[in-house]
Chains A and B, each alone.
Chain A
């Protein structure tokens, strides 16, 4: 095992912007540039740029690629139209989640699987094993840079530097084209709960592409780091692997049973265990909580129902958009409020709420 920390192709941009850097899943990543709250708000109200080059990109290609992926993941990739994408999961035979993924069908015989940086090696090994003989699995992570523009004004900004007609692109769709004169795969996806685009390109094209995007709006487009990315996804009720998702959780506990396509033909890894779980019901449930005080519930804090422990906080943060702390937590399936959260020895009141905390369409 090695512990080398990798730099993204945008290292010099982060240095120029004076980013506070942090190690994340073996990569040196920008945590924030100045105020993470300002970065968060820029995504909600305007637009901001993210360096996501740490994400894993794995291509699955060949005439049998769709069928091979149908066996490998819980979704139904072979049913995807070319140019469309789906959120899906890679599960172990016992139904535990190995990673959550986005799969893009880039061509009839080519799928791009995007994995979390921390899980790329596991996903690659599993895809090679599960697709063996049926499709070619290629790790393209090092050869792929990823820049994202997120926020309501992102479409306009990106449109000014690309030949792809973005206005007609659907959510969870993608297309090949050029951005600032560089070849790229552009998809209307993200992890912020806001409209936005992800731009996959050659590593050497990341910096010119970033510079063109950041200059494409009057006053410039700000950069946003991992701290803002985390509060944005939390407000949007999106799970994070290692917090809400893990090998001890099935998609049903996470409230994501819809990604398990038990209706698809053929066997897939985890089918029997997941079908049984669907039948029996989840062992715990993921809920949203508003903190009743300004003290922030954090990952690992105990959720109380009365004086008894009822679960655990998986993610918590002060919500810049809502102006108070929010948290996601796993509680026992029958647990009912009023809930409290043990914040370092004091039980603070918490109010259960539906997820997501923030929905841009409302």
Chain B
């Protein structure tokens, strides 16, 4: 199970890559293994406002449906349209081609507030697993 060192994480098993004011968000390898094959993902609309810790989409797998949370406050600038045709990318490359959406982080939000470091997230998955 992989937990890349350059990313930050949430309790809800999202990862977040922060580059300046833009955050790229997806779900973790641990999440994809727990969910099984992802068959459908409902993403927020470009332009939509998202709020940290609130549901902004859904991830459907063979066995279950889970809410997708935004780890940060901000406005959605881009969503991964490829997932519409090939949601299996999420299982195949959760940290790469399986990314889900990008957010222009709302001004003033401290980078990393309330997010987990790779070490903290790794510990979380080990206690959950």
Contact = CB atoms under 8 A, between A and B. Distances in A.
Interface residues of B, number: 14
Contacts, number: 41
Contacts of B37: 35-37
Interface residues of A, number: 16
A323 to B, nearest CB: 10
Given A227-B62, A227-B63, A231-B62, A318 B91 contact: no
A70 to B, nearest CB: 39
Interface stretch (A8-16, A126-134, A269-277, A290-298): A290-298
A318 B62 contact: yes
Contacts of B36: 20, 31-32, 35-36, 227
Interface string B80-108: 00000000100100000000000000000
B78 interface: no
A35 B65 contact: no
Interface in A260-295: 294-295
A230 B63 CA distance: 9
A317 B36 CA distance: 13
B33 A295 contact: no
Interface string A24-60: 0000000110011100000000000000000000000
Interface string B20-40: 000000000000010011011
Contact of B39 (A230, A294, A344): A294
A294 B60 contact: yes
Contacts of A344: 65
B81 to A, nearest CB: 14
Interface in B54-74: 58, 60, 62-65
Contacts of A296: 39-40, 60, 65
Interface of A: 20, 31-32, 35-37, 227, 230-231, 294-296, 298, 317-318, 344
Task: Please name the 5 residue pairs, one residue from A and one from B, whose CB atoms are nearest each other, closest first.
Answer: A318-B39, A294-B40, A37-B37, A296-B60, A36-B36
